Amino acid sequence: MTDKARAKPSQPATQVNFDVPPHACDCHTHIHGDVEKFPFFAGRVYTPEPASPEEMAALHKALHIERVVIITPSVYGTDNSSTLFGMKARGATARGVAVIDDKTTEAQLDAMRADGFRGIRINLATGGISDPNVGRARFTAAVERMKSRGWHVQLYTTLPMISAIKDLVLAAPVPAVFDHFGGLEASLGLEQPGFSDLVALVKSGRAYVKISGAYRSSKLVPEYQDMVPFAQALIAANADRIVWGTDWPHPDSSHVEGRKATDIAPLYNIDDGRLLNQLLVWAPDADVRRKILGDNPARLYGF
């Protein structure tokens, strides 16, 4: 059991070893506000520790990163208020990605637009949804709602699901954005089923992929050497469709034997300075890094 004195989210222990370009953006973060003000969703599958806007600001100051995209995590259901709290603390340098459902009205989406939200997220991975029919239906419904707004549809899922919706992504009038390397497993190598489909979607320009959360795909802490060929293959396919993110504060949504959904799941302790330094290995060219950290997020999130 975790005691009342909960651990704080990790802060970078390693200095960044390259010149971070102007207007760099961390495209995948979460805010876990005070649980009294921002209660968790009863149907959640895990309970994270708190992570505040002030702690996030300290992270980005250390990483020399100006902009941020805050994503509503599954623990809040369709309540985006903790994300909005984080965005307002950050001001004009923040954008948001919301979670919605059938009850979300067009007026609410209009208000979200004014607040800085630019996309919606479909989270299939945390709940363990692997049925292609469910994935296809949810993606189709999301695109239908977003097409008049020009917002993107972000998906946290797996490579088999990406293969199952590939035709829908290619035909969609709005971009798809795949979280965390598309959910690949580094140990299965470049030939694993679905990775070529992810590469093809990136190459087509219809999809973006976040080279984020390397520790979710790799067991090789702390450098994640086995992620190098995947990152390089995706960047080579289309450097204009790659964005980077920390996944701070690094929530642990995995199933742990004996841990109930309401038990505190400690945050992973990840050195985000070391994580950002991997970008120098994945993208040795400074112009490519400028695209990944600056140009692509500016286009995708409307900075």
The pLDDT of residue 2 is above 80: no
Taken as a whole, the chain contains a residue count of: 303
Instruction: Kindly report, residue by residue over 200-214, the tens digit of the pLDDT.
Output: 999 999 999 999 999
Q: Is 275 exposed, middle or buried (0-12, 13-18, 19+ CB in 10 A)?
A: buried
What's the rounded mean pLDDT across residues 100-108? 96
Instruction: Kindly report, residue by residue over 230-251, the tens digit of the pLDDT.
Output: 999 999 999 999 999 999 999 9
The reported pTM is 0.96
Q: What percent of the chain has pLDDT over 90?
A: 94
DSSP for 158-227, please give it. Answer: -HHHHHHHHHHHHH-SS-EEESGGGG--GGG-TTSTTHHHHHHHHHHTSEEEEEE-HHHH--STTT-GGG
Residue 9, domain member (yes or no): no
Number of domains in the chain: 1
Residue 282, domain member (yes or no): yes
- What is the model's pLDDT at position 4? 45
- Residue-range definition of the domain harbouring residue 69: 25-301
- How far apart CA 101 and CA 57 sit, in angstroms, is 30
Instruction: Kindly report, residue by residue over 39-90, the tens digit of the pLDDT.
Output: 999 999 999 999 999 999 999 999 999 999 999 999 999 999 999 999 999 9
Residue 284, domain member (yes or no): yes
Instruction: Kindly report, residue by residue over 151-175, the tens digit of the pLDDT.
Output: 999 999 999 999 999 999 999 999 9
- What is the model's pLDDT at position 6? 60
The pLDDT of residue 5 is above 90: no
- What is the model's pLDDT at position 108? 98
The pLDDT of residue 125 is above 50: yes
Residue 78, domain member (yes or no): yes
Q: What percent of the chain has pLDDT over 70?
A: 98
* Beta strands in the chain, from DSSP E residues, in sequence order: 25-29, 47-48, 67-71, 94-98, 117-123, 152-156, 176-178, 207-212, 242-245, 264-265
Beta-carbon contacts of residue 185 (< 8 Å; ≥ 6 apart)? 192, 217
Residue 11, domain member (yes or no): no
The pLDDT of residue 3 is above 60: no
- What is the model's pLDDT at position 239? 98
Q: What average pLDDT does the structure give for the chain?
A: 96
Residue 267, domain member (yes or no): yes
The pLDDT of residue 259 is above 50: yes
120, 99 Cβ separation under 8 angstroms = yes
Q: Which of 201, 272, 279, 206 is nearest to 237 (CA)?
A: 201
The pLDDT of residue 198 is above 70: yes
- How far apart CA 296 and CA 293 sit, in angstroms, is 7
Residue 254, domain member (yes or no): yes
- What is the model's pLDDT at position 7? 72
What's the rounded mean pLDDT across residues 278-282? 97
- How far apart CA 148 and CA 150 sit, in angstroms, is 6
Residue 202, domain member (yes or no): yes
The pLDDT of residue 92 is above 90: yes
- What is the model's pLDDT at position 127? 87
- What is the model's pLDDT at position 246? 97
* CATH code of the domain in which 32 resides: 3.20.20.140
